[in-house]
Amino acid sequence: MTDAAQFPGAARDVLTFRLGGEVLAVAATQLREVLEPAPVTRVPGAPAFSAGLINVRGAVVPLADLRVPLRMRHTPPGPDARILVLDLPLAGQQAIVGIHADAVHEVTRIGPADLEDIPTVGTRWPPRFVAAIGRWGGHFVTLPDLPAIFADFLSGQSGRSHLPGPTAAGQQDLEIS
Amino acid sequence: MMDAETLAVFRAEAEGLVESLESNLLALKDAPRDRALIDGAFRDLHTLKGTGAMFGRADIASFLHDFETAFDRVRDGSVEVTPDLLSVALAARDHVVALLSAEPAEGADRAGAAILSRLAALMGTPAAPGAAPDAGPWHATFRLPADTAALGGRPELVLEELRRLGARTIRARTGDVPPLDRLDPVCLYLGWEAEIDATATEDDIRGAFLFHEDGLQLSLTPPAAPDATAPPPRGPEPPQHRAPALMRVPAERLDEMMDRVGELVIAEARLNELAARFGDPGLVAVAEDIQRLATAMRDNTMSIRMTPIGAITGRFRRLVHDLSRELGKPLALEVTGEETELDKTVIERLADPLMHLIRNAADHGLEPPAARAAAGKPEEGRITLSARYSGAEVLVALSDDGGGLDRDRIRARAVERGLLAEDADPPDDALWKLIFEPGFSTAPAVTELSGRGVGMDVVRRTIEDLRGTIDVASAPGGGTTVTLRLPLTLAIIDGLLIDVAGERLVIPLAAVDEIVELPDSLADDDSGNAFLDIRSSLVPFLRLRRLLDSEGQPGAHQKVVVVTSGEGRVGLVVDRIIGSNQTVIKQLSPLHSGIKTFSGATILGDGAVALILDVPQLVARGRSDTDCQGEAAA
């Protein structure tokens, strides 16, 4: 997706946050709320990208870790860690998902003038996962293409149907003990 | 035009009536002289006509009027119910459905006229006289000058003239009549609205007002656009013949209600935890009251959502009736267990797969009449749809008494498609499952009905989405039975809360057979024994710690929860039993729905999320692992 497609000319309100040592942003229109860290239920057999579930006001919501697709280093959560609850299209339907953030900065407006072309070399991230790169304060801020990231994950998931077998997790498949 | 809400009410009413009409007509097939059925069908027609007219759907009312007129000859006994008559009547019913749809297809008028003339021919009456029977009427709304009577005018003569021109209904509009103390006896406060047959011309109608043109307010809508400008006429409600205690409720409201009850149950669990922590007797008593109420609310709401499977079997009767004619095979459908209830979401999604299975049975399963006669079977092919409860599941079986699945052909086709190795010789039930593979068809000819190999994989996908399973049994010459196992509900269940390595999980309580201690001899993960000896029956078991990839070592006193699904039993080794709870099932998002070990998640009293174990999947797993071990040992 090009930046023009997602940000056609007009300025957009975004929420900037820190994750894995980088500054990222999500469109304010996608954001439902920001939560304090909540107890996470592990989903055995789920891949690292979506390893857990949280309770968001009575709804069971998957918690995703953008550090996995964006190949960022994993640091233990600090006192500023938050969960961003987002509205995103998943498999053709609007769904609620949570994503990790190491810290949340602020809601700011990014105009077309602040947007940069996505460099084709020199980024660590798969270009198809980046919707736009902008400037915020003295930093570069990356707007990940969340629908593309989740769609990519789901299409990779379609072949999976069981808990990790010998191939998926390098473990013995289940057997009667 | 009708506003959206009115339209929805009208559709809901009309659909209910059409459904009832159809089931009456289909039942008449077997009991052509049943007075109650004939009267029922007639009543449905009549009420439907009234509903159509009431909501301003003159096209429907007019079509049904002629349908009803023809059917009246059946009611008065001068015409017998014949299969041909029923076919035309069903076609007429379909036409009404087409008229009800948002945008009736082009040429609907002609189709309607053709049905009516076939109907009339069967009834021995000439087709309805006059203009095209389904052209809508004129709508006239008019008001005569207030001083009409004072000047010696006689409004009733206008009405009489309109009647002569073919006014079907004339209604007075009394909205402007003042209270009695302010009423001037010589002043005319009334207005009228009338529906006049399309045979009248505009000049005729305007002619009726010849003497009142000064001060006349007349709005006239031509038949072509019956409800373009005039408001839908409203009149006294036609007599309704309906069971008085029934209510039609939009399905979404039930869904919303279920969500609220789900939240209530979760809040109630939190309250209980708090009450137990504080130990205040008053608080505990209130918490218990709330718990009792919440449980009752849950059960009530669930029972409202439970729908008998009979709600969808009517259309299958129709389907079999139509298939029989199309295929030239005499067919009979027998339905048992129609009162078996399933959650409405399950029922709704079950219709399509059953439709596919019935088509398949009629087209491929059942032999042509000649072949059946040669095999010593009755010519009429029999399809049986049965439903019954089995624990926390409902079994829906579709059987035919046809030739059975062709083992060699399925095997050959599977090898050809690369699903089986050349030399593989799988057991029957494994082989039968291959018919649900996408694109798998052994039919030599693709017919209009089936043979493209698309239906069966849709069946499997839908049933899997519903967390159900499919079994196939077949005997050469003896027919085929496809059994669908479905969970009773997708909403709230009683759950058994367990602990595995500090993580809490829920097992559906209805699937739990018993709970036993894990013998010390088996406590060690490496002990080779695959079975538990429970009252001298051998039950395979799965260690949930291993299944869930848990960390750490189990403590002493592990428990085994023995669960059943279908014929299979499997023991699940857990660390600790926490207790039972009401479990509001939340579906997993697409991110996790591929993980088959869990059927959903729920929210516990302390707000944490717990996963719900999918018992049928685990039992299948225990079985297949046992089979593998058995084969390895052999």
Inter-chain contact A175–B526, Cβ cutoff 8 Å?
A: no
Q: What pLDDT shows up at residue A173?
A: 35
- Residues of A with CB below 8 A from B539's CB? none
The minimum CA-CA distance between B313 and chain A, rounded to whole Å, is 31
Report pLDDT digits (tens) over B403-454. 888 888 888 888 888 888 888 788 887 888 888 877 776 565 444 445 444 5
Q: What pLDDT shows up at residue B104?
A: 57
Inter-chain contact B591–A164, Cβ cutoff 8 Å?
A: no
User: What does the DSSP 8-state code read for residue B419?
Assistant: S
Residue B284 clears pLDDT 50, i.e. is over it: yes
How many CB atoms neighbour CB B336 within 10 A?
A: 12
Inter-chain contact A174–B596, Cβ cutoff 8 Å?
A: no
Continuous segment of H or E residues that includes residue B50: helix B35-54
Q: What pLDDT shows up at residue A17?
A: 94
Report chain B's mean pLDDT, rounded to a whole number.
79
B310: left (phi over 0), alpha (psi -120 to 50) or beta: alpha
**Which stretches within B307-420 are classed as H helix?**
310-327, 344-360, 369-374, 407-416
Residue A138 clears pLDDT 70, i.e. is over it: yes
Inter-chain contact B594–A158, Cβ cutoff 8 Å?
A: yes
Residue B60 clears pLDDT 50, i.e. is over it: yes
Q: What pLDDT shows up at residue A155?
A: 81
Report chain A's mean pLDDT, rounded to a whole number.
79
Q: Of B628 and B441, which is predicted with more confidence?
A: B441
The minimum CA-CA distance between A132 and chain B, rounded to whole Å, is 25
Residue A163 pLDDT class (50, 70, 90 cuts): very low
Q: Of B390 and A104, which is predicted with more confidence?
A: A104
Distance from C-alpha of B61 to C-alpha of B162, rounded to nearest angstrom: 20
User: What does the DSSP 8-state code read for residue B218?
Assistant: E
Q: What pLDDT shows up at residue A19?
A: 92
The minimum CA-CA distance between B611 and chain A, rounded to whole Å, is 8
Considering only residues 264 to 293 of chain B, which have any Cβ-Cβ distance to chain A shorter than 8 Å? 266
Tell whether the torsion through CA atoms of B420, B426, B430 and B432 is positive or negative.
positive
B624: amino acid identity, one letter: S
Straight-line distance from the first to the last Cα atom of chain B, in angstroms, rounded to the nearest whole number: 75
Residues B356-367 have a mean pLDDT of 87
Inter-chain contact B590–A91, Cβ cutoff 8 Å?
A: yes
- Residues of A with CB below 8 A from B586's CB? 59-60
Residue B494 pLDDT class (50, 70, 90 cuts): confident
Inter-chain contact A90–B590, Cβ cutoff 8 Å?
A: yes
3-state secondary structure chain A: CCHHHHCCCCCEEEEEEEECCEEEEEEHHHEEEEECCCCCEECCCCCHHHCEEEEECCEEEEEECCCCCCCCCCCCCCCCCEEEEEEEEECCEEEEEEEEECEEEEEEEECHHHEECCCCCCCCCCHHHEEEEEEECCEEEEEECHHHHHHHHHHHHCCCCCCCCHHHHCCCCCCCC
Inter-chain contact B597–A162, Cβ cutoff 8 Å?
A: yes
Examine residue A170 and state whether it is found in any structural domain, yes or no. no
How many CB atoms neighbour CB A110 within 10 A?
A: 21
Distance from C-alpha of A23 to C-alpha of A13, rounded to nearest angstrom: 15
Residue B107 clears pLDDT 80, i.e. is over it: no
B603/A contact by beta carbon, under 8 A: yes
Architecture of the domain delimited by B309-487: 2-Layer Sandwich (3.30)
Inter-chain contact A154–B591, Cβ cutoff 8 Å?
A: yes
**What's CA B13's distance to the chain center, in Å?**
16
Inter-chain contact B592–A44, Cβ cutoff 8 Å?
A: no
A171/B contact by beta carbon, under 8 A: yes
Q: A14: domain CATH number?
A: 2.40.50.180
A37/B contact by beta carbon, under 8 A: no
Report pLDDT digits (tens) over B551-604. 888 888 899 999 987 678 899 999 999 988 878 788 888 888 888 889 889 888
Considering only residues 520 to 579 of chain B, which have any Cβ-Cβ distance to chain A shorter than 8 Å? 522, 525-531, 540-543, 546-550
- Residues of A with CB below 8 A from B597's CB? 44-45, 162-163
User: What does the DSSP 8-state code read for residue B450?
Assistant: S
Residue B628 clears pLDDT 70, i.e. is over it: no
Q: What pLDDT shows up at residue B143?
A: 84
Residue B258 clears pLDDT 70, i.e. is over it: yes
A166/B contact by beta carbon, under 8 A: no
User: What does the DSSP 8-state code read for residue B586?
Assistant: B
Q: What pLDDT shows up at residue B93?
A: 82
Q: Of A21 and B57, which is predicted with more confidence?
A: A21
CA atoms within 13 A on the CB side of B242: 18
Range of the domain at A60: 3-158
Report pLDDT digits (tens) over B160-171. 888 877 887 888
CA nearest to B573 within chain A: A177
The minimum CA-CA distance between B534 and chain A, rounded to whole Å, is 16
Inter-chain contact A161–B547, Cβ cutoff 8 Å?
A: no
Residue B301 clears pLDDT 80, i.e. is over it: yes
Residue A10 pLDDT class (50, 70, 90 cuts): low
B623/A contact by beta carbon, under 8 A: no
Nearest to A60 among B529, B530, B586 (CB): B586
- Quote the number of domains for chain A: 1
**3-state secondary structure (DSSP) of residue B123:** helix
Q: Of A82 and A130, which is predicted with more confidence?
A: A82
Q: Of B398 and B1, which is predicted with more confidence?
A: B398
A90/B contact by beta carbon, under 8 A: yes
Continuous segment of H or E residues that includes residue B289: helix B281-305
Q: Where in chain B is the domain with CATH 1.20.120.160?
A: 4-123
Residue B231 clears pLDDT 60, i.e. is over it: no
Q: CATH top-level class for B492-633?
A: mainly beta
- Residues of A with CB below 8 A from B469's CB? none
Residue B529 clears pLDDT 70, i.e. is over it: no
Domain B138-221 has CATH 3.30.70: yes
How many CB atoms neighbour CB B604 within 10 A?
A: 21
Q: What pLDDT shows up at residue A24?
A: 92
Q: What pLDDT shows up at residue A102?
A: 94
Inter-chain contact A45–B601, Cβ cutoff 8 Å?
A: no
Candidates B61, B13, B92; CA nearest to B227 is B61
Distance from C-alpha of B541 to C-alpha of B527, rounded to nearest angstrom: 12
A41/B contact by beta carbon, under 8 A: yes
Nearest to B609 among A55, A161, A175 (CB): A55
Candidates B229, B225, B171, B168; CA nearest to B199 is B168
Q: Which residues contact B450 (CB under 8 A, 6 or more apart)?
A: B356, B359, B360, B363, B364, B441, B443
Distance from C-alpha of A161 to C-alpha of A45, rounded to nearest angstrom: 10
CA nearest to A174 within chain B: B547
- Cβ atoms B565, B576 nearer than 8 A: no
Inter-chain contact B610–A61, Cβ cutoff 8 Å?
A: no
Distance from C-alpha of B549 to C-alpha of B555, rounded to nearest angstrom: 16
Candidates B530, B524, B515, B519; CA nearest to B626 is B530
Q: What pLDDT shows up at residue B448?
A: 46
Examine residue A171 and state whether it is found in any structural domain, yes or no. no
| Most B-contacting residue of A43, A56, A94, A152 (CB-CB within 10 A), to test interface | A43
Report pLDDT digits (tens) over B117-143. 877 777 765 444 443 444 577 888 888
Examine residue A116 and state whether it is found in any structural domain, yes or no. yes
Share of residues in chain A with pLDDT > 70 (%)? 78
- Cβ atoms A115, A94 nearer than 8 A: no
- Cβ atoms B158, B205 nearer than 8 A: no
| Most A-contacting residue of B574, B592, B618, B621 (CB-CB within 10 A), to test interface | B592
Residue B547 clears pLDDT 50, i.e. is over it: yes
Distance from C-alpha of B346 to C-alpha of B466, rounded to nearest angstrom: 7
Q: Tell me how far apart the 2 most distant CA atoms of chain B are, in Å.
A: 111
Residues A123-144 have a mean pLDDT of 82
- Cβ atoms B586, B555 nearer than 8 A: no
The minimum CA-CA distance between B270 and chain A, rounded to whole Å, is 12
Examine residue A168 and state whether it is found in any structural domain, yes or no. no
Residue B349 clears pLDDT 50, i.e. is over it: yes
**A-to-B residue pairs, Cβ atoms closer than 8 angstroms:** 113
Domain B4-123: assigned CATH number:
1.20.120.160
Q: Of A164 and A9, which is predicted with more confidence?
A: A9
What is B251-307's CATH topology? Helix Hairpins (1.10.287)
**3-state secondary structure (DSSP) of residue B392:** coil
Residue B517 clears pLDDT 80, i.e. is over it: yes
Instruction: Dig out the tokens for B179 from the structure.
Output: 């209270």
Residue A175 pLDDT class (50, 70, 90 cuts): very low
Q: Report chain B's C-alpha Rg in angstroms.
A: 33
Tell whether the torsion through CA atoms of B300, B302, B303 and B305 is positive or negative.
positive
User: What does the DSSP 8-state code read for residue B365?
Assistant: I
A119: amino acid identity, one letter: P
Q: Which residues contact B511 (CB under 8 A, 6 or more apart)?
A: B391, B392, B563, B564, B565, B615
Q: Where in chain B is the domain with CATH 1.10.287?
A: 251-307
Task: Give the CA distances from residue B630 to residues B40, B146, B431, B540, B624, in Å, rounded to whole numbers and listed in that order.
Answer: 60, 98, 20, 12, 10
- Cβ atoms B502, A42 nearer than 8 A: no
Residue A104 pLDDT class (50, 70, 90 cuts): very high
Residue B90 clears pLDDT 80, i.e. is over it: yes
Examine residue A177 and state whether it is found in any structural domain, yes or no. no
The minimum CA-CA distance between A122 and chain B, rounded to whole Å, is 31
